[in-house]
Amino acid sequence: MKFHRGDFPSAIEDLRFVERLADECEYDDLRKMTRFYLARALLRVGAYEDAKREILTAQTIFPQGGATFDLLMTKACLVLNEEGAEEATTVLKEAEQFLLNRDYVDQANVKTAYGRFARQQGDFDRAAECARHAIGIFEENDDHHHLSLARAHLHLAFALLLKAQNDGFRPPSPGFEELRSVAFGHLREAQRTCGEMDPRILDRLHYFKAAWYFYLGDVGRAKQEVAHGYESAEGVSDYLIMAHCRILQVKCARFRSAADDALRYAMEADYYAQKTDNRRICIRALIWRAVTEADPPRRNRTMAKNLLEQARNALRATDRDYLRWEFDSAEGMFRSNPRSTSVAASDRKGPAHVAVSNTKGPTQFSYDVAISFAGEQREQARLIAGCLRRRRVNVFFDEYEQANLWGEDLYEHLSRVYQKQARYCLMLVSRAYADRVWTSHKRKSAQARALNEKRGYILPVRFDEIEVPGLAPTIA
């Protein structure tokens, strides 16, 4: 009941309890079905790795069991996140082989899934066609109130929005009003199908409405709808939609030139994205954090470039929808104007953004942490840098800076980094560190900065008891 009400955190807690009982009793049918529902609930809260473990365990219980179709459908969603749409489609075709013994709802769900996968590959016509096919299956069976029907309506409305964006379709383009009318008709049908307050559909309904309003230039209504979407998603701990809503709020705030609000929403989007294992929402959050970091008044170009680099490394060739558009738009601003201190990111997702001025803003740190170490501690430095980076800490580590260091006067460049550009200096202190010329240079730069700071700047990590000139042994 909690699962079908959309209370996924509570459902997961109860299903974990049932899972333990079923394992103790060795009741295989219950063990498998519990893991199937547990995997679905974990997917809804973004816990993809946990969901994957449940699916793999369930498959080992009965490799050819009665719930094979259900398990493969859930597995296809996991593969979509981990490997991409083409690989997920292969799993979906495997699930399709079991449709002869399934009802019309499963047939419709397969069509909707094919549409989702096509959408990520940039084939928006096929995505819309698959959603229409799914809706037709419910109509043929005189079922007008199923949750899966409402989802098919939502997917169709979103596919039409992406088609309009991809084709540059806006009013007064011929046929645009008809497309808009059809899309909003499907949004109304989704709401009518599941009712006004169904938590299983409400967050996505508000979010898709908001996305449409933003594209139409009605930023006021977009703000209202996305606020409702966020509130609904928060009520069921749907971190994926919470992050998407915050990103749309970033766009609305930037349209109003509300830089502080945009930055706050971007940071929150990144926070919620990290609570999931969803690769795509994590990439989106990185992109929009980069955009807001480069905007006035922060103009933190170095951090923005590092965030975009992380997004680029996570993108796949099959990401051909809005995710690719947003990345290309943000990166394009850097390419077209390499000395610019802001990123407009006025992609095909909405109305044109207000131009930003080039006046100089307040000083900002380019890095949260700069790591200073001797070669003997490189392995430890690499592990620390990787750990910090995974937690979205912007770190200066020489292996990450090869492109930026090329052709630079290293003496001057490193002086700038350690004296002015890092919020903190993480100093890996050892006998080798005390003896090296370059580490001595970096240490002196950091110490010069520390003399002017009222708060702690140098964060030493001691590998032995060596005393380093100018660094008090009491600093911990």
DSSP SS3 for 423: strand
Q: Which domain holds residue 112?
A: 2-266
Task: Establish if 55 belongs to a structural domain.
Answer: yes
250 and 374 co-located in one domain: no
78 versus 453: which is more confidently predicted?
A: 78
Q: 209, 244, 266: which is the final residue of a domain?
A: 266
Tokens encoding 64? 């050819």
Assess whether 392 and 249 both reside in one domain: no
Q: Quick one: pLDDT at residue 344?
A: 43
Statement to judge: residues 213 and 91 lie in one domain: yes
| Closest of 240, 274, 276 to residue 47, by C-alpha | 276
Asked whether residue 337 carries a pLDDT value surpassing 80, the answer given is no
Q: pLDDT band for position 341 (50/70/90)?
A: very low
Residue bearing the bigger pLDDT, 137 or 451: 137
ω into 172 cis (within 30 of 0): yes
Q: What is the pTM of this model?
A: 0.69
Give tens-digit pLDDT for 120-155.
999 999 999 999 999 999 999 999 989 899 999 999
pLDDT tens for 272-284 read: 999 998 999 999 9
Q: What is the mean pLDDT of residues 50-75?
A: 75
Can you tell me the distance from the alpha carbon of 448 to that of 471, in angstroms, rounded to the nearest whole number? Answer: 12
Structural domain includes residue 144: yes
Structure-token pair, residue 211 = 């996305």
Q: E strand or H helix at 367, and its extent?
A: strand 367-372
Q: Is residue 284 one of the residues assigned to a domain?
A: no
- No. of H helices and E strands in the chain? 22, 4
Where is mean pLDDT largest: 244-253, 403-412, 454-463?
244-253
Whether 227 contacts 174, CB under 8 Å: no
pLDDT tens, residue by residue, 287-336: 999 999 988 887 788 889 899 999 999 998 888 888 999 998 888 766 65
Average confidence (pLDDT) over 337-354: 42
**Cα separation of 102 and 190, whole Å?**
24
User: What CATH number should be reported for the domain holding residue 435?
Assistant: 3.40.50.10140
**Residue 357 resides in a domain:** no
Q: Which helix (H) or strand (E) holds 395?
A: strand 395-396
Of 228, 251, 266, the residue that ends a domain is 266
- The length of the chain is 476
The sign of the CA dihedral 380, 381, 384, 390 is negative
Averaged over 41-54, what is the pLDDT?
84
Q: Which residue has the higher pLDDT, 28 or 181?
A: 181
End-of-domain residue from the set 266, 283, 318: 266
Phi–psi pair at 460, nearest 5 degrees: -80, 140
Whether 37 and 166 share a structural domain: yes
Indicate whether 228 and 375 sit together in one domain: no
How many domains, in total, are found in the chain? Answer: 2
Give the separation between CA 229 and CA 208, rounded to whole angstroms: 9
What pLDDT is recorded for position 343? Answer: 40
Q: Specify the CATH number for the domain of residue 150.
A: 1.25.40.10
Give a yes or no: residue 341 inside a domain.
no
If pLDDT is split at 50, 70 and 90, which confidence band does 196 have?
low
Tokens 């009982």 sit at which residue? 21
Distance, in Å, from the CA atom of 350 to the CA atom of 288, rounded to the nearest integer, reads: 15
